[in-house]
Structure 1
Amino acid sequence: MNKVVFILNEHAGRGRAKKIWASWKEKIDFPYTCYVTEYRGHATNIARECAQYREGDLLIIAIGGDGTVHEIISGITNYDHVRVGVISAGSGNDFGRTFSVFKTVEQLQMYARNLYTYEKLDFGLLTTKENKFGFVNNAGFGFDAKVGHSVNNSSWKKWLNVLGLGKIAYILFVVKELLTFTRFSFTLHTGKDTLKFDDVWFFVVCNQPFFGGGMKISPQSRPNDQLIEMTVVSKLAKWKLLFIFGTVFFGKHTKYKEVKQFQASNFTIMMHDQVYGHVDGEFSCLTEPDHRYSFSVQSKAWNLAKPISKGVKK
């Protein structure tokens, strides 16, 4: 196996990933292997198999959106000989707003010839009664997860994507859920305090600042500090929720009394209602009333390949 492997999601960014790869591969001057994903979770399986098969240094390059990156990193955590690089080609690309990504073929070729400058980073973990879900960016429950689940399972989105109007589907479901969403309650255990939250729209636990395509939901989050941050939005009028969403892009929402933030290495929550959940924007589970769920952080769990620049050490 070559020491450089590309994992391509041709459908990411409504075909943008496929176009980028078609352009880049003509210029690449080093040996590589390329795999094309065929189903959800395929990138995880490919990445894990490559990590297990090759014992020497391995560079895996993701070509796709946040979902593709999430799958690949989920497959290689704790394989210390593997580096993950990213060519952002999705719709939201929250990963690329915080983490280093390859922006040109020349940058990638320079890196491939001088392996390996990298950074060890944290990986979040949501643990339920039956499963464990990893996350690179964030995970949570509530309004945003329900909107995302509705959009991803809508026949409207497929038709609108064909017309290049996929974002309209998201707007339509935001309006729908704003009118129909049932707010929920949960109890948070931080290790120091036990806090009950009622009339909750959503909460999200973050490993980096951004979610939802550029919203700076957790300004203090850092992916290498062995900590995670929780943001809770509750007791908020519908009209004000829309207004606050507008301020999130600038990280100004934290000044509102309806927005609470906490920082810790782990959180345990007791959900009191059935609520939709997500990890890195993908559906995770439906919560069961009066069941416990926990969020934690795995320190230095994976290696990010970083474009070579001055002042960066191997």
Structure 2
Amino acid sequence: MYLFVINPRSGGGAGQRSWLRIERLLKERAAEYEALHTESASSAGSDVMQALSGREHWSACVVIGGDGTIHSVLEALRTRGVPLGIVPAGSGNDTARAFGIPLEPKAALDAALGGIRVPVDLLAGNGYTLTAVASGFDAQVAENVNASRYKRVCNALHAGRLAYLIGILHTLITFKPCRASIVCDGQEHTFEDVWLASVCNLPSYGGGLLIAPQARPDDGRLDVCVVYGCSRMQLLRLFPTVLKGSHVSLPFVTMLRGTSAAVSFERERPAIGDGESLGRGALAVRCEPGALTVLAPRAWAAADPAPQAQVGAGREGGA
């Protein structure tokens, strides 16, 4: 039995459009499933926990939505030990991108029903996060984008990355960098004029920005990107290099790696996890190895050097 969690508002209505197609495919395949519609990230987690508690065994929980919707169900899936399937229908879809899950609904459904079980790490701290816990400038960008009208317009045009780039220009005008301390595996690093400090589990966020290109979701490590000591113009020039991950070689970018990280800004800064607000203030994040199972396409697993386990029988109409 599969639980499908649908956020119809994701991606400017892409969630609902994807579900209508997925529902037809499930009926054609005579798959056994339950559907749970949610429009609020704050209530999705408890709704999913309650739904999962109603049955002993689930083949998977398949989220039709964006990274924020996935974020809201992580604790329930970890607690219940239920694999995560993804039909991407959000603005950024960085979780799907990291696991090679296609944007096309039918192909994504094929991966969810007949893919490979991939054990992956989670970032733990103020809940669970799968992509990255970001603080500073990029978190402020996300806050501004989420509150904007242009995000809805970009979603309607299927241009989620464009909304983020507009948000960068919007935020660049008013944001002021400050001193920050990053403690990684017990070793303290102090930086002046810090623009952002991102603790990453996956390579990208913000619709494909490769903030930590070397990050892997299954290595038991988190990767920290710190951008500091540069001018506004230098920061603006940095973002095109993030599209390819080449920013890591710039003199005002430092990359750290470890199993835990704490970030403290001299001034209060916003923080986000999977694009969702985590409040303001200091952060403490640790890597929790193998805490979640993700269903990925076989092609992605074949290209990945880490060994994977095949999904068991009963993918369509299983127990």
Q: TM-score per shorter chain, which class?
A: 0.7 to 0.9
CA contact (8 A) 1:160 1:168 kept: no
Q: Secondary structure at the match of 1:210?
A: coil
CA contact (8 A) 1:184 1:273 kept: yes
1:222 Cα offset (Å): 0.5
Q: Secondary structure at the match of 1:13?
A: helix
Distance of aligned partners of 1:186 and 1:31 in 2 relative to their CA distance in 1, 3 Å threshold: same
Q: Which residue of 1 aligns with 2:18?
A: 20
Q: Which residue of 2 aligns with 1:85?
A: 85
Q: Which residue of 2 aligns with 1:301?
A: 291
Q: Which residue of 2 aligns with 1:313?
A: 309
Which of 279, 301, 306 is the equivalent residue of 1:285? 279
CA contact (8 A) 2:135 2:270 kept: yes
1:42 Cα offset (Å): 2.8
Distance of aligned partners of 1:209 and 1:170 in 2 relative to their CA distance in 1, 3 Å threshold: closer
Name the amino acid aligned to 2:289.
Answer: S
Structure 2's unaligned 5+ residue stretches are 303-307, 311-319
1:304 Cα offset (Å): 1.0
1:191 Cα offset (Å): 3.5
**CA–CA separation in structure 1 for the residues paired with 2:97 and 2:108:** 18
Distance of aligned partners of 1:110 and 1:213 in 2 relative to their CA distance in 1, 3 Å threshold: closer
CA contact (8 A) 1:78 1:302 kept: no
**CA–CA separation in structure 2 for the residues paired with 1:284 and 1:296:** 15
CA deviation string 1:112-169 (max 9, x = no partner)? 4x6x84121111023xxxxx13210001211111121122224x34774697588776
More helix by share: 2
Distance of aligned partners of 1:109 and 1:270 in 2 relative to their CA distance in 1, 3 Å threshold: closer
Q: Which residue of 2 aligns with 1:70?
A: 71
Q: Secondary structure at the match of 1:43?
A: helix
**CA–CA separation in structure 1 for the residues paired with 2:40 and 2:261:** 32
Q: Which residue of 1 aligns with 2:202?
A: 208
**CA–CA separation in structure 2 for the residues paired with 1:178 and 1:185:** 18
Distance of aligned partners of 1:13 and 1:104 in 2 relative to their CA distance in 1, 3 Å threshold: closer
Name the amino acid aligned to 2:207.
Answer: G
Distance of aligned partners of 1:231 and 1:169 in 2 relative to their CA distance in 1, 3 Å threshold: closer
Name the amino acid aligned to 1:105.
Answer: K
Q: Secondary structure at the match of 1:188?
A: strand
TM-score (norm. length: structure 1)? 0.86
Q: Secondary structure at the match of 1:273?
A: coil
Name the amino acid aligned to 2:120.
Answer: L
CA contact (8 A) 1:78 1:301 kept: no
**CA–CA separation in structure 2 for the residues paired with 1:243 and 1:25:** 44
CA deviation string 1:54-90 (max 9, x = no partner)? 212331111011111111223211422x111001111
Name the amino acid aligned to 1:301.
Answer: A
CA contact (8 A) 1:94 1:213 kept: yes
Cα RMSD of the aligned pairs, angstroms, is 2.6
Question: Pairwise mapping of residues 130-209 of structure 1 onto structure 2 (< 5 A)?
Answer: 132-154=126-148, 156-157=149-150, 160=153, 164=157, 170-191=164-185, 193-209=187-203
1:256 Cα offset (Å): 0.4
Q: Which residue of 2 aligns with 1:101?
A: 101
**CA–CA separation in structure 1 for the residues paired with 2:241 and 2:111:** 39
CA contact (8 A) 1:184 1:275 kept: no
Distance of aligned partners of 1:159 and 1:302 in 2 relative to their CA distance in 1, 3 Å threshold: closer
**CA–CA separation in structure 2 for the residues paired with 1:194 and 1:160:** 42
User: Is 1:270 aligned with 2:243?
Assistant: no
Q: Secondary structure at the match of 2:123?
A: strand
Question: Identity, % of aligned pairs?
Answer: 26
CA contact (8 A) 2:8 2:37 kept: yes
Name the amino acid aligned to 1:121.
Answer: V
- The total of aligned residue pairs comes to 299
